[in-house]
């Protein structure tokens, strides 16, 4: 009858609304873990790091950030000093690995955000080559996640480093535990 027909229409509309909400939420979840490009050319600048921090001030559910910076150390090896590291990578595999680490970090830790950048090319001693930035509601997750992510990167990402000395000779860097 007349009223039942309207009820059926309402029911269909509600279903359509629910489906649309589900689709939007699915897109939001997928975007949250959207693949982000990690490798950048050259050193990561202090200004870039400061800008990244500033960008998060609108996310008012964040209570804690933990940031790791890897800096090129002027290592002394056999009487010579490292002036710079020239980073190279199996880029397609490195980006895949960074994405896996990202997905795993979100699954393992209750994080609001996570950003990772690693330099490719020449980075001088004293400059930053790795920037890991995690954000969460509370500090415990941020501390735990940041450390975990850095260790995963050092163990599993196919990045290679040529340590260049003052006389332009070089040796290949190997991560130790």
Partner 1 sequence: MSIQVKLFGSLVDIVEKNDLAIEGINDTDSLKKKMLSDFPELKGQNFVVVVSKQIVIGNQLLKSGDVVALLPPFAGG
Q: How far apart are CA 120 and CA 24, in angstroms?
A: 36
Interface residue list for partner 1 (CB under 8 A) = 70, 85, 87-90, 92-94, 96, 118, 129-130, 150, 153-162, 172-175
Beta carbon nearer to partner 1, 10 or 151: 151
**DSSP letter, residue 44:** B
144-172 in b/e burial notation, b at 16+ Cβ within 10 A? bbbebbbebbeeebebebebbbeeeebee
Number of other residues whose CB lies within 10 A of the CB of residue 95: 17
Beta carbon nearer to partner 1, 33 or 99: 99
Beta carbon nearer to partner 1, 59 or 175: 175
Q: How far apart are CA 15 and CA 13, in angstroms?
A: 5
Shortest spacing between CB 9 and partner 1, in angstroms: 52
Angle, helices 91-108 vs 139-156, to 10°: value is 150
Shortest spacing between CB 54 and partner 1, in angstroms: 25
Number of other residues whose CB lies within 10 A of the CB of residue 127: 17
Shortest spacing between CB 129 and partner 1, in angstroms: 8
Beta carbon nearer to partner 1, 39 or 112: 39
Beta carbon nearer to partner 1, 43 or 153: 153
Shortest spacing between CB 64 and partner 1, in angstroms: 22
Shortest spacing between CB 98 and partner 1, in angstroms: 10
């Amino acid at each position: 009858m007349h009223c039942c027909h309207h009820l059926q229409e309402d029911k269909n509309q509600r279903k359509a609304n629910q489906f649309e909400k589900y689709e939007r939420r699915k897109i939001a979840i997928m975007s949250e873990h959207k693949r982000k490009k990690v490798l950048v050319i050259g050193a990561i600048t202090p200004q870039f790091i400061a800008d990244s921090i500033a960008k998060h001030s609108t996310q008012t559910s964040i209570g804690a950030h933990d940031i790791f910076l890897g800096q090129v150390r002027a290592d002394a090896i056999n009487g010579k000093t490292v002036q710079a590291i020239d980073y190279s990578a199996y880029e397609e595999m490195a980006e895949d690995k960074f994405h896996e680490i990202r997905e795993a970090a979100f699954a393992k830790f209750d994080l609001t955000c996570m950003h990772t950048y690693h330099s490719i090319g020449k980075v001088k001693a004293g400059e930053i080559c790795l920037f890991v930035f995690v954000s969460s509601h509370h500090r415990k997750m941020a501390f735990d996640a940041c450390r975990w992510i850095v260790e995963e990167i050092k163990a599993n990402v196919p990045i290679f480093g040529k340590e260049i000395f003052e006389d332009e000779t070089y040796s290949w860097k190997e991560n130790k535990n």
